[in-house]
Amino acid sequence: MSELLETLLQDARVWQGHTHKRTTQMAEPTNYQALDNQLGGLGWPRGALSECLLDTPGIGELQLLIPLIQRFSQAGKTVFWLNPPHIPYTPALARENISLDQVILIHTEDRNDFLWTLENCLRSPVTGLVMAWPEELAAREVRRLQLAAEAGSNVCVLFRERRHIRQNSPAALRLELEPDDQQGLKVKVVKRRGSWPGQHCSLAMAHRAGLLQQTPACVLQGPWSGSAR
């Protein structure tokens, strides 16, 4: 019993309030040095959920993901966009050297369809990154998605309204995002697995806009056969 307890305590997912443990979890660097420094040199966790909490889309949050999208797409891994607020602007993505053949946009009809699609994207072996914009998620649904993320060992970033910062979440990483006065982005670490929260930094964003458009484009439409209803 004592050996089992010691094993659990050595796992960074079990946090002791009086200690700091460096996690050995696989992660992908953000390529923003100031942010990577605040994340213990790790970045976006693999096999776990990350949450970006913000008041409104279009403040530079996608620029935060561009290095990751670029890296996965060039490696032949699929990057899923699930229910983004606007259609991705493909010329801007191409200018960032993103392989558009690896970018898939999906639009779902309802909550069950969204959850089913997101789970299957997370479990797929072709997936490198999933970016999703849920409307509302219950705590049990976030836990369900966390299990799917662990099974797929890829990166998942949920963009959620900042009011959800008060909601408990099993996500391994939670970042609060705000625009700053220098056309950049303020990032505060709300939660980081295996460490104290509260770190913050400001990032310069090369382009605040241009990655999303409102004109129609090719999009995969749900619902999908086999979706859990």
From residue 19, alpha-carbon distances to 6, 87, 119 in Å are 14, 44, 33
In whole angstroms, give the CA distance from residue 72 to residue 78: 7
Q: Is the pTM of this model over 0.85?
A: no
Q: Which helix (H) or strand (E) holds 69?
A: helix 61-74
* Tens-place pLDDT, residues 144-180: 999 999 999 999 999 999 999 988 888 999 999 999 8
CA distance 73 to 19: 38
Closest by CA to 30, choosing from 147, 126, 129, is 129
Give rounded-to-5 percent helix, strand, coil for the chain.
Answer: 30, 25, 40
pLDDT for 119: 96
Which top CATH class is 27-221? alpha beta
| pLDDT value of position 21 | 46
User: Pairing between strand 184-192 and 173-179?
Assistant: antiparallel
Domain extents in the chain: 27-221
R_g over Cα of the chain: 17
Residues of the chain falling short of pLDDT 50: 5, 8-21, 23, 207-209, 214-225, 227-229
pLDDT at 86: 86
